Amino acid sequence: MDTLSPAVIQTSSDPLQRIYRQFRRSTSGKIGLVLTLGLVVLALLAPLLRPFDAATARNFAARLKAPSLEFLMGTDGLGRDLLTLVWYGLRISLLVSLIAVGIGLLIGTLLGLVAGYFRGRLDTVIGWFTDILLAFPSVLLAIAVATVFGSSLRSVMFAVGIIQIPTFIRLTRSMVLSLREREFVQTARAFGAGSGRIIFRHILPSSLAPLIVQATLSLGTATLEAAGLGFLGLGAQPPTPELGTMLSDSFRNGYSMSSPWTIIFPGLMITLIVLAFNLLGDGLRDALDPRSNP
């Protein structure tokens, strides 16, 4: 998805009611919300409804069983129930995406606030840092970071988080540049408010709406990037059930043609996660956009 254009929310006397009314008009937003809530609930209930132990879940007598009433999504090359693997893979994908986007949001927002408010040399240095990150294709940068820190879920979270940082820096900086000369900021400065108070009590709250929308959209991107690293063998290591790793295992062992369910269902889950976040982000953008009809 494209990066959001900066916009300040200017609403009527009841902004929450306007936002709620606008969101209700967004069909994509409502579908995305239902899908997102459903995925989150499934992820939270997985240990209760379908306990799983990766070390003992193997059943070689049931290797590569096609989908049936016993195994709704079939089994993989180790005889593990694919439904259980995909279910727990959903948990891992959501966790990785949330932490990765959280890293990018936190660091990118702070740097964007500093660059946009103080300008000068700080803005120049942070601009150079942003340009350096953007000079590399995001996938190659993520691969480089994950390779340096080793193959693990933590490395994936950190790698995906780093490539999210420039987006939030640019968005936050643009917001700050449009807000720093506004009357309410000038009034706070005239009353003796310090830079920290102005930034975190006045400018940041006015910038939250586009940041929230961008974070929601970035969750879908982070899911794809994390799955890509897992597919390349840089993510979670077996026997951890991670969606990208499951796709990689199917292709590497030649199951993709003889047992297509081993790639279809993990791939569908990745698609569903990305679709849910993108639809929700589109709905939030429509609801929070001040240019929307009241």
Average pLDDT, integer, range 152-170: 93
pLDDT of residue 12: 42
Q: What is the pLDDT of residue 291?
A: 59
Region 133-144 average pLDDT: 88
Q: List the chain domain ranges.
A: 15-44+77-177+207-288
Q: Is 226 left (phi over 0), alpha (psi -120 to 50) or beta?
A: alpha
DSSP label at residue 60: G
Q: Are 21 and 258 in contact (CB under 8 A)?
A: no
Spell 185-195 as b/e; 16+ CB within 10 A means b: beebeeeeeee
Place of tokens 């698609």: 271
Say yes or no to pLDDT of 54 above 80: no
Whether 165 has a pLDDT exceeding 60, the answer reads yes
pLDDT of residue 264: 94
Q: Select 15-44+77-177+207-288's CATH number: 3.30.70.3270, 1.10.260.40, 3.40.190.10, 1.10.3720.10.
A: 1.10.3720.10
pLDDT band at 186 (very low <50, low <70, confident <90, very high): confident
Average pLDDT, the chain: 87
Which pLDDT does position 265 carry in this prediction? 95
Provide the percentage of residues in the chain whose pLDDT is more than 90: 47
Question: Which residues are CB-neighbours of 286 under 8 A, at least 6 positions away?
Answer: 22, 23, 25, 26, 29, 292
167 has a pLDDT exceeding 90: yes
Please tell me the predicted confidence (pLDDT) of residue 3: 52
pLDDT at 52: 82
Q: What φ, ψ does residue 135 adopt, rounded to 5°?
A: -70, -25
Confidence tier at 9 by pLDDT (50, 70, 90): very low
Specify the 3-state DSSP secondary structure of 81: strand
Confidence of residue 17 (pLDDT cuts 50, 70, 90): confident
Q: Does residue 224 have a pLDDT over 60? A: yes
What pLDDT is stored for residue 158 in this prediction? 93
Say if residue 176 is exposed, middle or buried (CB neighbours under 10 Å; 0-12, 13-18, 19+).
buried
Instruction: Please give the pLDDT value at position 185.
Output: 83
Residue 193 pLDDT grade (very low, low, confident, very high; cuts 50, 70, 90):
confident
Q: From CA 281, how far away is CA 217, in angstroms rounded?
A: 5
Please tell me the predicted confidence (pLDDT) of residue 2.
Answer: 47
pLDDT reported for residue 292: 54
pLDDT (0 to 100) of residue 11: 41
Q: How confident is the model at residue 268 (pLDDT cuts 50, 70, 90)?
A: very high
Predicted confidence at residue 223, as pLDDT, reads: 94
pTM of the full predicted structure? 0.88
What value does the mean pLDDT take over residues 77-88?
91
Contacts of 261 (CB under 8 A, 6+ apart): 66, 67, 73, 74, 82
pLDDT mean over 235-257: 87
Sequence-ordered alpha helix ranges (H) in 180-260: 183-190, 195-197, 204-231, 243-252, 255-258
Q: Average pLDDT in the 81-87 region?
A: 92
State mean pLDDT over 252-269: 91
